[in-house]
Amino acid sequence: MLESAANNRPDWISEADHGTDTVDALLAELGISREPLSKAIRAGVTERRRATSFEPTTSPGLRDWIGRVGALRDDLHATGWQPIDPANAPMARRPDGKVLLGVMQGDEGTGNLHSPLSSTYPKGVTIAKLTISNNSVNQPLPGLDELLGTAEVDAMKVWFLVTRFKNGEANGSGTVHAELSQPAPTSSGTNITEWAKRCCFSPFEFEPAIEPEPTEPLGVDVPVNWR
């Protein structure tokens, strides 16, 4: 596991192995607090629960992803991050332009530093171009400035909030395994399986949603004249 030259911190960290302070230090360096990340995860679960049996079987995951994207970008916007959509890939860009943050779904290794991690689905040309900027030597990246609408991409790094929802034993309960991680440069048409940095969070537990009890309407007496 590589060591960060700046502060001797491992490039792969987790709350379980390295403590909350280590994770918070990385988040501070990225200019991100825990709140927008946890809000995004909660929003995803809320949207997931709105899926019905009449919708496609992919609906829960799709709703979850859309909910996370919207909540994350909305919350980060309040601190100066800008929503951008290079080739329809929804991202948030830090005010100085040096960090891009997106969301994706991961496999069973999500949130577990001791397991390999893979994106659930293969990624296309856009993500492949964006992850090129995660090369360790910051080489010139032809074409990336046009994709992002900026010429300042040499030091830019792309991160993802990676999540995996696992149903619990009780109906409607579940656990979200999550991490904030930086892919290594990835080829188009393949799952992301190589990671330059990983930051694994403790699992997020969700109790079954409680529906409010229906209230009976107040009775109304309507006089009826019989004929």
Domain ranges of the chain: 12-206
- What CA–CA distance (Å, rounded) separates 19 from 154? 32
- What CA–CA distance (Å, rounded) separates 97 from 10? 25
* Closest C-alpha to 157, from 124, 188, 180: 180
C-alpha angle 134-139-143 in degrees, rounded to nearest 5: 85
Indicate whether 111 pLDDT > 90: yes
Q: What is the pLDDT of residues 43-64, one digit of tens each?
A: 999 999 999 999 999 999 999 9
> Do β-strands 157-167 and 99-105 pair in parallel, antiparallel, or remain unpaired?
parallel
pLDDT score recorded for residue 87 = 85
Q: What is the pLDDT of residues 12-44, one digit of tens each?
A: 999 999 999 999 999 999 999 999 999 999 999
